[in-house]
Amino acid sequence: MGLIILDHPLITDKLTRMRKVETNSKDFRENLNEISQLMVYEIFRDVETIDIKIKTPVGKTVGKKIKKPVVLVPIIRAGLGMIHGIVSLLPSCKIAHIGLYRNEETLQPVKYYAKAPDDIARCTVVVVDPMLATGGSASAAIDIVKEWGVKDIKFVCLVAVPEGVKLLANNHPEIDVYVGALDEKLNEKGYIVPGLGDAGDRIYGTK
Size of the site for ligand URA (CB under 6 A): 9
Distance CA 154, CA 2 (A): 10
Count of other CB atoms within 10 angstroms of residue 87: 18
Quick one: which of 93, 100, 131, 145 contacts ligand URA (CB under 6 A)?
131
Contact between 204 and ligand URA (CB under 6 A)? no
> Please, which residue, 85 or 195, has the CB nearer to ligand URA?
195
> Please, which residue, 85 or 135, has the CB nearer to ligand PRP?
135
Taking each continuous run of H as one helix and of E as one strand, the counts in the chain are 6, 13
Quick one: which of 87, 156, 192, 203 contacts ligand URA (CB under 6 A)?
192
Amino acid at 66: I
Q: Which of the listed partners (ligand PRP, ligand URA, none) does 180 bind, with a CB threshold of 5 to 8 Å by partner kind? A: none
Of 205, 169, 156, nearest to 44 by C-alpha is 156
Q: Where do runs of H (alpha helix) occur along the chain?
A: 9-19, 25-43, 83-89, 136-147, 162-171, 199-204
Q: Which residues bind ligand URA (CB under 6 A)?
A: 78, 131, 133, 191-192, 195, 198-200
Q: Which residues bind ligand PRP (CB under 6 A)?
A: 75, 77-78, 100-102, 107, 109, 129-138, 164, 190, 198-200
